[in-house]
Structure 1
Amino acid sequence: MPPRTSLPRRAAKSPTLRKLSVVIAIVLAYQIWLSVQAGGKVGPGVGADRDERGRFPVDVELGFAPERYHILRLQKHGRIAGTDGQVVHLRGVAPAGVDALAREYWIKHIEAPERGS
């Protein structure tokens, strides 16, 4: 009778499990990268001017003119108040919405709007 190999050793030899572990590692690395780069996108003063519901306005800067897809994605987190070139003005954004917006790879920067705008 041949010697029995352990389960971890057999799993390491399985091409399917190796491919699956590579895919899982890539997805985890991408999620970590999104979290790390999201920290530098939110400018100072975002969320300082909250209303009675705890929501606030933000200006979302993209690296390009927004298209329908981007506007629809931004509407999930607040009301669109207009656009100025590559900047989309959102109102009524919750703190969780800012976190979700910052994780979008196509968003360049999130700022508090200037007073009077």
Structure 2
Amino acid sequence: MMRLRPPRPDARGPLLSLAAGALIVAALIWGPSAYGVVTAGGRIDPELRAATGPRDVTVRLTFRAEVFHVRELSRYGIFAGSPSDGVVHLARVPPPNLTALAQVYWVDAIEPRG
């Protein structure tokens, strides 16, 4: 007489769920930064790409800058004012910081000031 084996549970189901969950978490953590890096070239004015020394810039946002945003932007240069919603002026931003600033995903545009 042939004995039937009980069915083996499929171990791939839980592993696939775990992998999908890990992928979603990774996308949530690193997605905004990756988006910022990929789209940075379109945010910075061509005149600023060739900067050799510190520059005064206008940072344009698509929203009103809050205290958090001003603090974050101040990491790249000296805060020089926010004359209207969606505009922040930074002074003496060195070239490496211009590149890093362009990679901030919530920055819309970086233009030379004055």
Task: Give the TM-score, by structure 1 length.
Answer: 0.68
Gapped regions of structure 1 (runs ≥ 5): 1-9
Residue type at the aligned position of 2:112: A
> 2:19: which partner in 1?
17
The offset of 1:105, in angstroms, is 2.2
Name the CA distance, whole Å, in 2 between partners of 1:12 and 1:32.
29
The offset of 1:24, in angstroms, is 3.2
SS of 2:68's equivalent? Answer: helix
Number of aligned residue pairs = 102
Is 2:44 the counterpart of 1:45? no
SS of 2:108's equivalent? Answer: strand
Cα RMSD of the aligned pairs, angstroms, is 2.6
Deviation digits for residues 8-29 of structure 1 (CA, Å, limit 9, x no counterpart): xx77862323422443356555
Task: Tell me if structure 2 keeps the 8 A contact 1:79–1:90.
Answer: yes
Gapped regions of structure 2 (runs ≥ 5): 1-10
Shift in alpha-carbon separation, 1:55–1:78, aligned structure 2, 3 A: same
The offset of 1:91, in angstroms, is 0.9
Structure with the higher fraction of residues in helix conformation = 2
Aligned 1:65-104 pairs, distance under 5 A: 65-85=64-84, 86-104=86-104
Task: Give the TM-score, by structure 2 length.
Answer: 0.69
> 1:112: which partner in 2?
112
Name the CA distance, whole Å, in 2 between partners of 1:109 and 1:93.
15
Deviation digits for residues 75-113 of structure 1 (CA, Å, limit 9, x no counterpart): 111101122213211111122212222122221110011
Identity level (%)? 31
Shift in alpha-carbon separation, 1:26–1:71, aligned structure 2, 3 A: closer
Task: Tell me if structure 2 keeps the 8 A contact 1:12–1:18.
Answer: no
